[in-house]
Amino acid sequence: MHVNAKLMTVLLSFGLLLHTSGCQISPSKEDIDLQDPIQLNIWLTAGSGLEPLIDQYQTQHPELEIHIQTSTFTQLPAKLQTSFAAGYSSPDVAAIDISYLDRLKQFPGYFYNLTTFGANGLKDQFLSWKWQEVLGNDFIFGLPTDIGPYAMLYRTDIFALSGLPTKPEEVAKRIQTWDQFLKAGTRVHEATGKAFVNDLENLYLTLLRQSKLQYYSPTTQELIIENNPAVKGAWDFSIQALKLNLSAGIAVDTQRWGAGLLNGDFAVMLCPAWMIDHIKSSAPTASGLWNVTTIPGNSANRGGSILTLPRTGSHPEESFALIKWLTEPAQQLISFKTQGTFPSTPKIYDDPEIHNLYDPYFPNSEVGRVLSTAAQEVIPTYYGPHHADVETNMLEYLTKAEQGKLDPEQAWSLAIQVAQTIDTSFR
């Protein structure tokens, strides 16, 4: 039997069409490998600890090619604003330190609203106060990564020499208030000649972070330093500690600080979670000399970041998939174990890796329990549009008072004047 040649051609073409349309549904691995990878540019803050996780994600997603650029937490927001103003391409993902977030919230048009990608459904994954920080007017600016709940580290040998308790639960009971903190510090200084805290900056920041209000009003966005008793209270308390000779005047992350941790130049470190690894790396041979308990007063948080998607990025869907994965509890737990960054996802606080954490650097301590309890009791804090710049100024003048370069009252007056100038310059 003979088949019409034209009919045969049509049948063959139809069969080929069916075959190729089926292939379009499930492209082969070889076809994927031949495609150019999607380029994702990620801007991270130094010390975020996210690089190993991003490397893992890259391995799982060969269709992507991820490029990481790292800056300090102060440099990154400035670079981002410069890229927005200049109109050139910004990253697909940008990590923003929480102290700069309210500034960038003034420019929602430069960021993707993550509600577009279904981020509303992730709310219960995070601490309620942390989730509140990333919200705007019907806007989700980013997904939270780490946080910095506070603990109080203390030298057990210095406490023992001073007649103070040395077990964490007993220390917490003895130093429940800031007045009791000063009394303990005075006792240490009188008994040993040692300072109680490393410097006034760290003391001031701890006190201020216990307050909901910092330098700005959440309703008017106006500078409220002079009208917020929490700021003047933290300043005055720090100056009181100075007058009692309770400060060693040693800044964090300096060579003197590492030596001071080892030599016992100060008895206490008021310490956000991320600083613990700094302590261990700065003074590795001080292992066993320090222990961990709660800070006086209520809980506080210092630091932490969120991952945002700038609108000038080229691949928002792929970028959201990445930050969603990075901030999931499983990945935050890995970061805690490997990088020391404390999770913002409370569902894993009962995980033995956190709740039962035993760190030989702090013998017989419950570091994970102290930090996770503190994290769940933090009072939400409003930072305001120019918080970081104003605070840098306040700390500069506080340090001048500590170093004897200015009288404390003069330092306070000048700090207020310069803060007002800084605020005005941005308006």
Q: Are residues 234 and 264 in the same domain?
A: yes
Beta-strand (E) ranges in 115-179? Answer: 135-136, 139-140, 143-155
State the Cα–Cα distance between residues 360 and 280, nearest whole angstrom: 11
Q: Are residues 293 and 243 in the same domain?
A: yes
pTM beyond 0.85: the answer is: yes
pLDDT for 23 beyond 60: no
**What's the average model confidence in pLDDT over 81-94?**
87
Give the model's confidence band at 8: pLDDT under 50 very low, under 70 low, under 90 confident, else very high.
Answer: very low
Q: Are residues 392 and 253 in the same domain?
A: yes
**What's the average model confidence in pLDDT over 320-341?**
96
Q: Are residues 244 and 292 in the same domain?
A: yes
Q: Are residues 158 and 284 in the same domain?
A: yes
The more confidently predicted of residues 47 and 424 is 424
Provide the pLDDT for residue 16: 38
Q: Is residue 132 part of a domain?
A: yes
> Model confidence over 359-405: pLDDT tens digits?
899 988 899 999 999 999 999 999 999 999 999 999 999 999 999 99
Give the model's confidence band at 17: pLDDT under 50 very low, under 70 low, under 90 confident, else very high.
Answer: very low
Q: Is residue 358 part of a domain?
A: no
Residue that terminates a domain, selected from 289, 322, 348: 348
Nearest to 77 by CA among 99, 100, 93: 100
Q: Are residues 130 and 160 in the same domain?
A: no
Q: Is residue 389 part of a domain?
A: yes
**What's the average model confidence in pLDDT over 179-194?**
99
Provide the pLDDT for residue 411: 99
Q: Is residue 359 part of a domain?
A: no
Could you give the angle at which helices 275-282 and 255-263 cross, rounded to 10 degrees? 80
Residue with tokens 């549009």: 385
Q: Are residues 192 and 230 in the same domain?
A: yes
**What's the average model confidence in pLDDT over 273-281?**
95
pLDDT for 7 beyond 90: no
pLDDT for 152 beyond 80: yes
Domain containing residue 284: CATH number:
3.40.190.10
Provide the pLDDT for residue 205: 99
State the Cα–Cα distance between residues 302 and 325, nearest whole angstrom: 24
How long a stretch of residues is the chain?
427
Asked if 80 and 72 touch (Cβ cutoff 8 Å), the reply is no
Number of folded domains that form the chain: 2
pLDDT for 4 beyond 60: no
**What's the average model confidence in pLDDT over 129-141?**
96
Q: Is residue 2 part of a domain?
A: no
Provide the pLDDT for residue 24: 42
If one counts every other C-beta atom within 10 angstroms of the C-beta of residue 311, the result is 15
Exposed e or buried b for every residue in 59-85, given b needs 16+ CB within 10 A? Answer: eebeebebebebbebeebbeebbebbe
The bridge status of strand 195-197 relative to strand 342-343 is unpaired
Q: Are residues 108 and 205 in the same domain?
A: no
Residue 261, domain extent: 148-302+365-425
Beta-strand (E) ranges in 174-333? Answer: 195-197, 266-272, 290-293, 301-308
Provide the pLDDT for residue 5: 42
Asked if 40 and 60 touch (Cβ cutoff 8 Å), the reply is no
Beta-strand (E) ranges in 274-388? Answer: 290-293, 301-308, 342-343
pLDDT for 288 beyond 80: yes
Residue that terminates a domain, selected from 280, 315, 348: 348
> Model confidence over 50-84: pLDDT tens digits?
999 999 999 999 999 999 999 999 999 999 989 88
Provide the pLDDT for residue 30: 52
Asked if 185 and 241 touch (Cβ cutoff 8 Å), the reply is yes
SS (H, E, C) 179-207: HHHHHHHHHHHHHHCCEEECCHHHHHHHH
State the Cα–Cα distance between residues 4 and 285, nearest whole angstrom: 90
Contacts of 318 (CB under 8 A, 6+ apart): 38, 40, 64, 92
Give the model's confidence band at 34: pLDDT under 50 very low, under 70 low, under 90 confident, else very high.
Answer: low
Going from the C-alpha of 338 to that of each of 280, 292, 331, 403, the distances in angstroms are 14, 20, 11, 38
Q: Is residue 38 part of a domain?
A: yes
State the Cα–Cα distance between residues 132 and 148, nearest whole angstrom: 16
Provide the pLDDT for residue 227: 92
Provide the pLDDT for residue 400: 99
Q: Is residue 355 part of a domain?
A: no
**What's the average model confidence in pLDDT over 301-306?**
96
pLDDT for 105 beyond 50: yes
Q: Are residues 58 and 174 in the same domain?
A: no
First to last CA, the chain: 89
> Which tokens go with 62?
């060969």
Provide the pLDDT for residue 356: 87
Residue with tokens 């200015």: 406
CA 311 to chain centre: 23
Residue that terminates a domain, selected from 313, 348, 383: 348
Q: Return mean pLDDT, the chain.
A: 92
Q: Is residue 195 part of a domain?
A: yes
DSSP state of 344: S
Q: Are residues 390 and 242 in the same domain?
A: yes
Q: Are residues 342 and 309 in the same domain?
A: yes
Q: Are residues 383 and 275 in the same domain?
A: yes
